[in-house]
Amino acid sequence: MMNVESVTAGDAARAKVRRMSRILVIEDESRISDFVVRGLTEEGYRVEHAADGLAGWTAMQSNQWDLILLDWWLPGEDGIHLLRRFRQKNRSTPVMLLTARDAVPQRVEGLDAGADDYMCKPFSFEELLARVRVLLRRPGQDSLTLEYSDIKADLASQRVSRGGQPIDLTAKEFLLLTLFLRNPGVVLSRTRIFDGVWGEQYDGSSNTLEVHIKELRRKLEAYGPRVIQTRRGSGYMLDAAPGDEV
């Protein structure tokens, strides 16, 4: 007989991974991009969208993604060229090509360029969702971790440790930490952090972010030196080098 409690726990773990999984959709047709972004967001994924080749390339390089959905035909640089450039940089993020080009030679071209999967338009959202789950599934996915120095964050259990010592974080503090862990050495502006953690536009007057940074630092620094640095006038960065302010 199936253990209901274990199934429930597994579903909860997978739901947590979905909430932490970041998907980039590069698609210029608004009808399709709106449909895909809305659907994936409702499923619990964290989704961002770029509408042309230039914006897509910038987004591909500037963030750590768990999956990229990439249209073949794009204004500016097309998807197949973006994919080749991306793989030349030894980036292994799974990429699914979205295109109306369904001839066998074109599918082969896309896969040879580095695509992990290929979906022909028009497609059903149910099939897209199933393929997304497959591409995000990895051995040990339920214990997927992000690491920097001696800091570890388990995305499924939402457990955090530093130097082997467990650290108890609130939900927002965990999201804040994982945002830094996904972007080590990158200066994150207050606007970008606020959007990524709170899903809101930073108005410049709230001290919510500063309060959460201070508390997250306090908890991390109980077991080691400061790693969340202030870059005056720019934002914050996960870096072992000292920042501008103490």
**CATH code: domain of residue 153:** 1.10.10.10
Residue 244 maps to a domain: no
Mean pLDDT per block of 10 residues along the chain (246 residues) reads 45 51 92 92 91 92 87 90 87 87 78 87 87 74 72 84 95 89 86 79 79 96 95 90 62
pLDDT value at residue 122: 85
* pLDDT given for residue 171 in this prediction: 87
Together in a domain, 169 and 114: no
Classify the phi-psi angles of 149: left when phi > 0, otherwise alpha if psi is within -120 to 50, otherwise beta: left
CA of residue 168 relative to chain centroid, distance: 23
| Main-chain phi, psi angles of 168, to 5 degrees | -90, 115
d(CA 96, CA 117): 5
3-class SS shares of the chain: helix, strand, coil, % to 5: 45, 20, 35
CATH code, 114: 3.40.50.2300
Q: What is the pLDDT of residue 32?
A: 92
> Which one of 85, 114, 136 terminates a domain?
136
Cα 77 from Cα 46, distance rounded (Å):
25
- Does residue 110 lie in a domain region? yes
> For residue 188, what are the domain limits?
144-238
CA neighbor of 122 nearest in space, from 37, 35, 40, 50: 35
Q: What is the per-residue pLDDT for 102?
A: 72
Q: How many structural domains comprise the chain?
A: 2
Residue 130 lies in a domain: yes
CB atoms within 10 A of CB 20: 22
Amino acid 16: pLDDT: 47
For 7, 46, 64, the CA distances from 141, given in Å and listed in that order, are 16, 17, 17
Residue 119 contacts residue 128 (beta carbons within 8 Å): yes
Tell me the β-bridge partners of 99.
120
Domain match, 52 and 103 both: yes
**Residues 151 and 116 both lie in one domain:** no
Q: In what order do the strands lie in the sheet with 46-50?
A: 46-50, 22-26, 67-71, 95-99, 117-120
- 24 by Cβ neighbours in 10 Å (0-12 / 13-18 / 19+) ranks as buried
149 located within any domain: yes
